[in-house]
Amino acid sequence: GQYGPKGALFSGWESRRHNPTCDWCIIQLGIPGFILGFDIDTSHFNGNEAPEASVQALFTTEAEDLFPEDERWVELLPKVALGPNSRHLFTIPQTDRAYSHVKLNMYPDGGIARFRVYGLVSPIFPPLTETFDLASVYAGGRTVQVSDQHFGIGSNLVLPGRGKDMRDGWETRRSRVAGHKDWAIVKLGAPGFLEQLEIDTANFMGNFPESAEIHATSSPHDIPEVTEDAWVPILRRTQLGPHRRHYFQLDNVHEVVFTHIRVTIHPDGGIKRVRVYGKRARANEDEITVAEPEVPLNTTVSKPITNGIDHIEKPLIACLTSKTIPAVPLTPEGFATFGHVVQAYNTPEAAPRGIKVTGANQGSAIKYHALAPVRQSYPVEMGAKTAMSVYRASPIDATIGETFD
């Protein structure tokens, strides 16, 4: 192993020896939620693992320093025994309220490699008339079923941001079977009216899917118990490109409430994020407004949404009585039905398949060749052609009067 000034180096939390009471660690959750269980992992700690642990939790909306003796701490997991180099999984009845912080106590001292808290997000919702990402984890969206997640788990699809690298996306194993496809089902944070969709292949440069299609359905269950006919095609099979965001308008969504989407990729590959923009169909019966009714601020939910669409009624909202045509950024895949998009890409890897890319100007520029066909009147025997290309150039650091070859 490797050693530092204070002993062996471990990937985890290890405290000094001979503690007469216990050691503790306070963790703020990524977003408040209803807790269902814990994973206290002592991997690689063998002989120096924490012998026992317990978990407490509290909720606060204030940016405050929390202390172990705070009277608001509620015990969720009483003291339990731990073993060396093992994962310890504990389930508890789902909490009846959301918590924002947890406190992990270990008795009396030792090491814990990882601590994971499982549960359901307490959604944060905007007003009914506002468009937002219904699939976002912040809105309560979650991936409930996948066909394969060999390299990257499906739950990454609903995370915020564009991530760091391929590890925080959804990626399936390579297929060797003709006609193969993989899929992931996402339960939206709330039943809603869908408007547009984004598929992000950030960091997937040579392993992005050849194409993708999206279906949607309505079901009161976490995993839809519906026939294939109940899945409505909202995005026809469309080619995808590497390492970029793809924006699409949707079909068959006008005045239809959906609770789930199914992302199908052909034949396999990786996707970083899927974002489904739309409006909620109705307010949740347990929704708490954090401002006066006439002030259009965000709302949160005091209890998890588990009843799907059992009580949905057609809302009387003026903006939903007529069709909305969303404005989405122009992409080669989204515009393919109508023509070509002439643009320079951030990196050569993000260019569509088949586009020739070369360096230019002594490496200070990148040339994207023949991005769109051009009608021309040259005689065939001349062998001449017209090409429409774009350069993406970077400035060269130089002083006044300096010359270049």
Q: DSSP per residue over 16-77, as a string? A: PS--SS-EEEEEEEEEEEEEEEEEEE-TT-SSSB-SEEEEEEE---S-----TT-TT-EEEE
Average pLDDT, rounded, for the chain: 88
Report pLDDT digits (tens) over 15-45: 999 989 999 999 999 999 999 999 999 999 9
Q: Give the position of tokens 């949404």.
A: 305
pLDDT higher at 255 or 63: 255
CB-based contacts of 145, cutoff 8 Å, min separation 6: 154, 184, 185, 223
59-102 confidence digits (pLDDT tens): 998 888 999 999 999 999 999 999 999 999 999 999 999 999 99
From residue 355, alpha-carbon distances to 340, 367, 371 in Å are: 12, 10, 7
pLDDT number for residue 14? 93
Q: How confident is the model at residue 377 (pLDDT cuts 50, 70, 90)?
A: confident
pLDDT digits (tens, 9 = 90+) for 174-191: 999 999 999 999 999 999
**Cβ proximity of 236 and 215 under 8 Å:** no
At 50-59, the pLDDT tens digits run 999 999 999 9
CA 306 vs CA 37, 176, 311, 394: distances in Å: 18, 39, 12, 52
pLDDT at 301: 58
CA angle 31, 217, 333 (to 5 degrees): 85
The answer for residues whose C-beta is within 8 angstroms of residue 390's C-beta and 6 or more apart is: 342, 343, 344, 367, 368, 371
Q: Please, which residues have CB within 8 angstroms of residue 49's CB and are 6 or more apart in sequence?
A: 42, 82, 83, 84, 85, 110, 111, 112
Per the DSSP assignment, residues forming a β-bridge with 405 are: none
CA distance to 46, 52, 71, 157, 231, per residue, from 83 (Å): 8, 8, 30, 34, 47
Peptide bond before residue 108 is cis, with ω within 30 degrees of 0 = yes
Contacts of 196 (CB under 8 A, 6+ apart): 247, 248, 249, 250, 277, 278, 326, 328
C-alpha distances in angstroms, 282 versus 127, 194, 241, 286, 308? 10, 13, 36, 12, 12
Sequence-ordered list of residues with C-beta below 8 angstroms from that of 36, at least 6 positions apart, any chain: 91, 92, 94, 95, 118, 119, 120
- The closest of 9, 36, 14 to 116, measured between CA atoms, is 36
pTM value is 0.80
pLDDT digits (tens, 9 = 90+) for 267-314: 999 999 999 999 999 876 655 444 433 434 455 555 555 444 443 433
Q: How many CA atoms lie within 13 A of 70 on its CB side?
A: 18
Q: How many residues belong to the chain?
A: 405
Q: Which residues contact 46 (CB under 8 A, 6 or more apart)?
A: 84, 85
**Res. 385: pLDDT tops 90:** no
CA 82/CA 345 separation, integer angstroms: 52
Mean pLDDT (whole number) for 239-257: 94
CA distance between the termini of the chain: 53
